[in-house]
Amino acid sequence: MLTRRDILSTAAAGAFISAVPSIAFARAETDARLVLVILRGAADGLAIAAPYGDGNYAQVRGELALPPPGSSDGLLKLDGMFGLHPALSGVYDEYQQGRATIVHAIASPYRERSHFDGQDVLENGAAATGLLRDGWLNRALAPLGGTLGTETAIAMAQNTPLILRGDNSVTSWAPSQLPDADDSTLRRLESLYADDEFFATRLAQAIKSQDIAAGQGGMQDMRSRGNDAQQALTMMQAAAKFLTTDDGPRIAVIEAGGWDTHANQGAANGALANRLGGLDAGLTALRQGLGDTWSRTVVAVVTEFGRTVHVNGTRGTDHGTATAAMLLGGALDGGRVVTDWPGLRNSDLYEGRDLRATSDTRSLFKGLLAEHLELPSAFLERNVFPDSSSAAAMRGLIKT
Amino acid sequence: MKIESAIAANRFGLGARPGDLEKIERQQPQTWLLDQIQGPARLPTDISDLPTSASVFRKVDEVRREDRDQYGKTVREYYIEQAHARYRAAATSDYPFHERLVHFWSNHFAVSADKQPMPAVAGLFEAEAIRPNVSGKFVDLLLAVEQHPAMILYLDNQRSVGPDSTLGKRASRASSSRNIGLNENLAREILELHTLGVNGGYTQQDVTTFAKVITGWSVGGAGENGRFAEGEPGTFEFRQVIHQPGKQEILGRQYSQSGMAQGEAVLHDLALHPATAKHLASKLVRHFVADEPPAELVDQLAAAYLKSGGELSAMYTALIAAPQSWSSAFAKYKTPHDFVISTFRAFDYVPDEARFLIGALDLMGQTPYRPGSPAGWPDTAEQWGGADALYKRIEWCNTVARFVGSQANPVELGDAVLGAAFQTQTRTAIGRAESSIQGMTLLLAAPDFQRR
């Protein structure tokens, strides 16, 4: 059986070169930053960016419809058709500066309604469930360099989510409240783990992250306690520190839960509005933490699928299909809503209930990897998103 | 000492206490496990001393209405009490295999304590719906779970209204239908997570129809605006006025029963569906044998289950009899839950401070009763194996070792709790440690203790 190390060394020896143009290795380093924020639980795209200009919107959304731009608690006007949820004022500031883009009516190729399978497909980059055991963002790391101790990507969590799991070395970090183990104990554990690759690799990765966190100062004091919004804020701030460290990671994944609004979802105020407000504060903290680096950054905020167009019997929404994705960052050619709007009439809806998908999350991810991280198309098609020819890369998202 | 004794204690049980391995060796590992399936004759006192969920629902509801400032505190106190009881019982149980089964099914049917008022009742749900039913027929477990108020509230079924029910029709005439209608959350998760599994062959139409079938499965007591006030507060209540009447078809079968009997008939059929057998078998094999469940063993368990007419013990017996169950002492990477309980058992320590154990589990990413979704906690090394997660474990090992100090000899403890699974390199590393505290950290963090 090939071990991870074997795969890394064969990759370094050029095993991919037959499959990939040599440019794959010309760009061993990237100065671009990419942050993936995964909203777990199926966030409601019709609330994130509401199509107030669609003549059917107010009627189909009923009590969950958001007031049009200009009214009290009204939507923040994106264009003549869409408005951003009023809780997303930080995102809106960036949008007005051309540093945010909304992609609407987007979904992964998954067309059932299980959160867990939906998240798998979003993260493994396959055309259907169960086809790939590793994550697309991990596969994309191969040409970017970075090995044990100098990982290109970090999961802002104790455990690595599927999107970053795979053969390429990645690290993870989350705040702690316990005293550090002393160096002598860690050295002995390294030696005790030497013959056990599972433990050896993870300890090496963790020690590196601890070094970065300690070197930045202050991060050791971050507390994992507090409500979800505070935790998200902490993670965003920490991510900014990792991403601005000289030999630190360039790619970060942050997860945020609590989007499964089956009951009492609320409109301009209420449960979902509070979640969005927390997310907005976190994204603002990330932008501030990145400082000048923001100009080279793209943050993609995505979720596994959307929610039903109609309100259910408990003032919420059930599992749906297409949703909205938010992109932020100075590298974007933003200030626009990218969509082929499918409409909200009953006959427009997928299976008579969901927003129909007119774009594919793989197209979005391919576009970002190609234009922002400058990964070659052939590599993306073959290695990162196999069987995705139906989902052409979304072009023109990044400033040239 | 046989390796099978270590496997029985550590993989099937919750970790050996000093002296356990000798006892298992005397009884034979397989017999020791088989004897535990039915559980103890009497409930552990930690569990029997808990209040009923109905009384807690009533109390929490009362505090919410009358003393709102105290709501968070009240819920938290119940949560701490129940989590503490669970881990005390686990740390001291003489039936650790049975106890593991309770935890396994509690996780299969997770009600996550991050939605109010779940923190106040998640442990009681486990005590009332799960614990009495882990060794009987699966359908009894399934019925107890889906008719428990905690599950109904967790997955929003209490106010799911049939469109053609008495109340549904009245509401649509009054054109206020937006606030009233179906919620398919519970129906979907029963099919996807509790029974057939996501590839079990059901359609969106089956989900919607099943949601109609179980309309009216609700909870007694005052609802918002005084609606739904009838019924014994905090207990299961079938509400005819919101139940969708009429025949229904699910998975190609007709259900002409009326009222609650219709949903019960569907659950009976789901329990004995081959897809359910396979789904349950693969989860059990993943939990007890390997992250990648061997297909032939899954098939054996599923076949034994169906042949027995849906007896859970048929699967456990097949599992214990299977040679694959006994092939490695290190088949599974412990979850934080496994790790913390096995550490307590190794030290024969009963945590008297609940915050200590809840804090430890929270820190290692497995806060009691809080998996964050109805899918429960994951069960593979891949999902628990983050670099930072290992580092947190090491920090906790170090903290525990300092706490225990030099009261125990780490080499002797390794022999006592790992037996034949205690690895030479671990023994050597501990022998060379600069202090017994460091030696204890190495023992707890060693791959042989971190796996089961």
B390 to A160: CB separation less than 8 angstroms, yes or no:
no
Delimit the domains of chain A by residue range: 24-39+58-144+341-372+379-400, 172-248
Q: Which of A179, A188, A199 sits opposite B442 (nearest CB)?
A: A188
> pTM (2 decimals)?
0.81
A341-363 as b/e: b if 16+ CB within 10 A: bbbbeeeebbeebbbbbebbbbb
pLDDT band at B323 (very low <50, low <70, confident <90, very high): very high
How many angstroms separate the CA atoms of A183 and B226, rounded? 62
The CA angle A170-A213-B386, to the nearest 5 degrees, is: 35
Q: What is the DSSP letter of B238?
A: E
Q: Which of A62, A113, A313 sits opposite B188 (nearest CB)?
A: A113
Question: Quick one: closest CA in B to A201, which residue?
Answer: B387
**Chain A residues with CB inside 8 Å of B414's CB?**
none
Find tokens 């959304």 and name the residue: A61
Rg (CA), chain B: 23
Angle of helix B260-271 versus helix B204-213 axis, rounded to 10: 140
The CA angle A261-A262-A264, to the nearest 5 degrees, is: 75
Q: What is the DSSP string of A27-77?
A: T-----EEEEEEETT---HHHHEE-TTSTTHHHHHGGGPPPPTTSTTPPEE
**Chain B residues with CB inside 8 Å of A262's CB?**
155-156, 183, 185
Task: Note the pLDDT tens digit of each residue in A191-213.
Answer: 999 999 999 999 999 988 888 77
Q: What is the DSSP letter of A335?
A: S
The answer to whether the Cα torsion of B265, B267, B268, B269 is positive or negative is positive
Q: Does B265 contact chain A (CB < 8 Å)?
A: no
Question: Quick one: closest CA in A to B360, which residue?
Answer: A178
3-state secondary structure of A119: helix
Task: Note the pLDDT tens digit of each residue in A249-298.
Answer: 999 999 988 899 999 999 999 999 999 999 999 999 999 999 999 999 99
Tell me which of A175 and A194 has the higher pLDDT. A194
pLDDT band at A7 (very low <50, low <70, confident <90, very high): very low
Residue B79: pLDDT over 80? yes
pLDDT band at A15 (very low <50, low <70, confident <90, very high): very low
Delimit the domains of chain B by residue range: 3-148, 149-289+292-330, 336-450
Residue type, B324: Q
A158 to B381: CB separation less than 8 angstroms, yes or no:
no
- pLDDT for res B228: 61
Among B residues 276-335, those touching chain A with beta carbons less than 8 Å apart? 333
Question: Quick one: closest CA in A to B359, which residue?
Answer: A177
Q: Which of A159, A177, A199 sits opposite B365 (nearest CB)?
A: A159
The CA angle B312-B317-B318, to the nearest 5 degrees, is: 100
Burial of B351 (0-12, 13-18, 19+ CB in 10 A): middle
List CB contacts of B242: < 8 A, sequence separation 6 or more.
B159, B160, B161, B162, B165, B166, B167, B168, B215, B216, B218
B159 to A314: CB separation less than 8 angstroms, yes or no:
yes
Instruction: For the beta carbon of residue B233, count every other beta carbon within 10 angstroms.
Output: 18
User: Is the Cβ–Cβ distance between A90 and A341 less than 8 Å?
Assistant: no
How many angstroms separate the CA atoms of A341 and A318, rounded? 21
Nearest partner of A103 among A305, A303, A325, A307, judged by Cα: A325
Q: Does B69 contact chain A (CB < 8 Å)?
A: no
**Chain A residues with CB inside 8 Å of B279's CB?**
none
A176 to B395: CB separation less than 8 angstroms, yes or no:
yes
Q: Does B365 contact chain A (CB < 8 Å)?
A: yes
Residue type, B52: T
Nearest partner of A46 among A23, A30, A27, A62, judged by Cα: A62
Task: Note the pLDDT tens digit of each residue in B325-352.
Answer: 999 999 999 999 999 999 999 999 887 8
Low-confidence winner among A321-325, B116-120, B126-130 (lowest mean pLDDT): B116-120
3-state secondary structure of B219: strand
Q: Which of A177, A189, A205 sits opposite B363 (nearest CB)?
A: A177
3-state secondary structure of A367: helix
A174 to B392: CB separation less than 8 angstroms, yes or no:
yes
**Chain A residues with CB inside 8 Å of B164's CB?**
none
Among B residues 15-54, those touching chain A with beta carbons less than 8 Å apart? none
Residue type, A253: V
**Chain B residues with CB inside 8 Å of A180's CB?**
395
Alpha helix locations (H) across B200-254? 204-213
Q: Does B358 contact chain A (CB < 8 Å)?
A: no
Average pLDDT over residues B76-89: 96
Which residues are B217's β-sheet partners?
A: B238
Average pLDDT over residues A80-101: 98
Whether the predicted interface score ipTM is above 0.90: yes
Could you tell me what percent of chain B has a pLDDT over 70? 97
Q: Which of B381, B426, B434 sits opposite A198 (nearest CB)?
A: B381
Å between B193 CA and nearest CA of chain A: 9
Question: Quick one: closest CA in B to A113, which residue?
Answer: B204
